[in-house]
A and B are shown apart, each in its own frame.
Chain A
Amino acid sequence: MQFSIKRTLFVKKLNDVQRAISSKTTIPILTGIKLALTDAGLMLTGSDADISIEAFISATDEKNELEIGSTGAIVLPARFFSEIVKKLPEDTMTLEVKDNFQTELRSGSASFTINGLDANNYPHLPSIDTEKQVVIDANVLKQLIAQTVIAVSTQESRPILTGVHLVLDNQELLAVATDSHRLSQRKLHLDIDKDIHYDVIIPGKSLLELSRTLSDDVETVEMRIAENQVLFVAGTISFYSRLLEGNYPETSRLIPSSSTTQVEFNAPQLLAAIERASLLSHASHNNVIKLTLDPAKDDVTIYGNSPDVGNVQETLTHSNLDGEQLEISFNPDYMKDALRSFGQTEIQVAFTSALRPFTLVPTEDQDHFVQLITPVRTF
């Protein structure tokens, strides 16, 4: 195996693939990066067994300046290899695999020889052949990921809740995540075959990595799903993730269908007020803020207090306050995460009682995005 390539481009592709490589892997060969060269081009692969990323460098794309001497494959220690490639002196570099997987890297007058591994021992990525393609706008997918992963559980004691539940049915994609304290649900309409139906749980970590892998020049992402794997194809990048096994708990019934008190806020304004109040609640043992809503007086006030430091009270700017009087206490951190996911927009908050979860939805489009927050257990 021998080739030369434009170094800046190669570094970029190495970075993409390296996202999947973990130094903590228990499978030694996975600390390496696989290079497989065919006449069509060079395929780079990195994997930590949960996530695998492939990046393809085409031989026919002149920008890549890929000159193939001979085809073949090798696995090289990822960290050293990419550090070396980054520091090579010239714009072009050459890589050649010699006897016993010894690999020579040359650029200008610098020459490195590093020990490679037999690429035949590298695990095979699953082949995901399906005609049921699902194409999603890359920015919409990124937004969906950002809006849902905030609510996935970080606790391995309930592995199923560390994932985002994706259900695709009748051209509608429903994405839900909950750590049982709060829940986030996003709906998308997709112009795809009506017969495509999926029900899978993708690890939240995988989706975060996918989101980071999607560069700004990627316009659409194609999603393919097999038995226990999902594949996202974005431009020259293929991103594989394992799926979580098991049944995701029924969540639709957690979202209240009616409410007794409703109010509207500007999301960034409310966020700023919650951040102020949480300055004190964070200093306290239980990190709780209290919200009182009094429709008769058209008043909404938040309270935070720390026995050691002091207390805070702020009257909130709001509109369309309606329904019954209510006093409710919750963890401000959940509220902050939820509000950030709305961005610059007006939201409606709906309460059923002081004991039951309340919801936040965009005032304009109440159907496609909902955040649910569970109040603290004050009875």
Chain B
Amino acid sequence: MEKQKLYDSFVQLEADAKRMLARIDEMQTDLMQVLERDAELEIENQHLRERLQEIQAAADKKSERPKTAAAPRLSKSRANLKKLYKAGFHVCNQMYGSRLDDDEPCAFCLDVIYGERR
């Protein structure tokens, strides 16, 4: 009967839609994890580059006494945090590495980047 068929295909469609929704939820969770992992790796990468530079610099001027560099406006690690923040990630203690919602600013992040050292 026509109505039975119509109903059956409706039920089928509903089941499909539910499966699809579950899949979207899953993908969203996965995506967030990938983004957070990406942020962490980027930070790690920066740290390693810095370390490498330090080692190279030390090797280059083995004999020289290290000059005391004039205090830069932002330390290297803060500049890196600033980059990450600019790229849309929290760098504050509470939310470190997670995405800034809707690109909203975060006062805690700004404190980490620009605030006086605790």
* 1/0 contact string of B79-118 vs chain A (CB within 8 Å): 0001001101000111100001101111110110011101
For chain A residues 165-196, which have a beta carbon within 8 Å of chain B?
A: 178, 180-183
Contact indicator B86/A254 (Cβ below 8 Å): no
Number of residues on chain B facing chain A (CB within 8 A): 22
Residue of A nearest to B109 (CB): A180
From the candidates A158, A181, A253, name the one contacting B104 in the complex (CB within 8 A).
Answer: A181
Contact indicator A249/B105 (Cβ below 8 Å): no
Say whether A18 faces chain B, with CB atoms less than 8 Å apart.
no
Contact indicator B105/A376 (Cβ below 8 Å): yes
What are the residues of chain B within 8 A of A158 when measuring CB–CB? Answer: 94-95
Say whether A355 faces chain B, with CB atoms less than 8 Å apart.
yes
Contact indicator B110/A249 (Cβ below 8 Å): no
Contact indicator B115/A374 (Cβ below 8 Å): no
* A331 to B86 alpha-carbon distance, docked (Å): 17
What are the residues of chain B within 8 A of A181 when measuring CB–CB? Answer: 104-107
Contact indicator B85/A155 (Cβ below 8 Å): no
Q: A158-B94, A249-B93, A249-B94 are in contact. Are A183 and B101 (CB under 8 A)?
A: no
Say whether A301 faces chain B, with CB atoms less than 8 Å apart.
no
* A357 to B112 alpha-carbon distance, docked (Å): 13
Interface majority SS (helix, strand, loop, mixed), chain A: loop
- A350 CB, nearest partner CB in chain B, Å: 15
Interface majority SS (helix, strand, loop, mixed), chain B: loop
Say whether A372 faces chain B, with CB atoms less than 8 Å apart.
yes
Contact indicator A286/B105 (Cβ below 8 Å): no
What are the residues of chain B within 8 A of A355 when measuring CB–CB? Answer: 110, 114
Tell me which of A253, A355, A375, A377 has the highest count of chain B C-beta atoms within 10 A of its own C-beta: A377
What are the residues of chain B within 8 A of A375 when measuring CB–CB? Answer: 105
Q: A249-B93, A379-B86 are in contact. Are A254 and B107 (CB under 8 A)?
A: yes
Say whether A356 faces chain B, with CB atoms less than 8 Å apart.
yes
Contact indicator A374/B86 (Cβ below 8 Å): no
From the candidates B85, B103, B108, B114, name the one contacting A180 in the complex (CB within 8 A).
Answer: B108
For chain A residues 330-379, which have a beta carbon within 8 Å of chain B?
A: 331, 353, 355-357, 372, 374-377, 379
Q: A158-B94, A377-B85, A379-B86 are in contact. Are A180 and B111 (CB under 8 A)?
A: no
- A39 CB, nearest partner CB in chain B, Å: 53
What are the residues of chain A within 8 A of B82 when measuring CB–CB? Answer: 379
For chain A residues 243-288, which have a beta carbon within 8 Å of chain B?
A: 249, 253-254, 286
What are the residues of chain A within 8 A of B100 when measuring CB–CB? Answer: 377
What are the residues of chain A within 8 A of B86 when measuring CB–CB? Answer: 377, 379
What are the residues of chain B within 8 A of A182 when measuring CB–CB? Answer: 107
From the candidates A183, A286, A331, A353, name the one contacting B107 in the complex (CB within 8 A).
Answer: A183
What are the residues of chain B within 8 A of A286 when measuring CB–CB? Answer: 103
What are the residues of chain A within 8 A of B116 when measuring CB–CB? Answer: 253
- A119 CB, nearest partner CB in chain B, Å: 41
Q: A158-B95, A286-B103 are in contact. Are A254 and B114 (CB under 8 A)?
A: no
What are the residues of chain A within 8 A of B118 when measuring CB–CB? Answer: 253
A-B CB contact pairs (8 Å), 25 listed: A155-B101, A178-B107, A180-B94, A180-B104, A180-B107, A180-B108, A182-B107, A253-B111, A253-B118, A254-B107, A254-B111, A254-B115, A286-B103, A356-B114, A357-B107, A357-B110, A372-B107, A374-B105, A374-B107, A374-B110, A375-B105, A376-B105, A377-B86, A377-B88, A377-B105
Apart from the given pairs A155-B101, A253-B116, A253-B118, 15 other A-B contacts in the complex at a CB distance below 8 Å: A158-B94, A180-B94, A180-B106, A180-B108, A249-B94, A353-B114, A355-B110, A355-B114, A357-B110, A372-B107, A374-B105, A375-B105, A376-B105, A377-B88, A377-B103
| Those 10 A-B pairs whose CB atoms lie nearest each other, nearest first | A374-B105, A374-B107, A180-B106, A254-B107, A181-B104, A379-B86, A357-B107, A377-B105, A254-B111, A180-B107
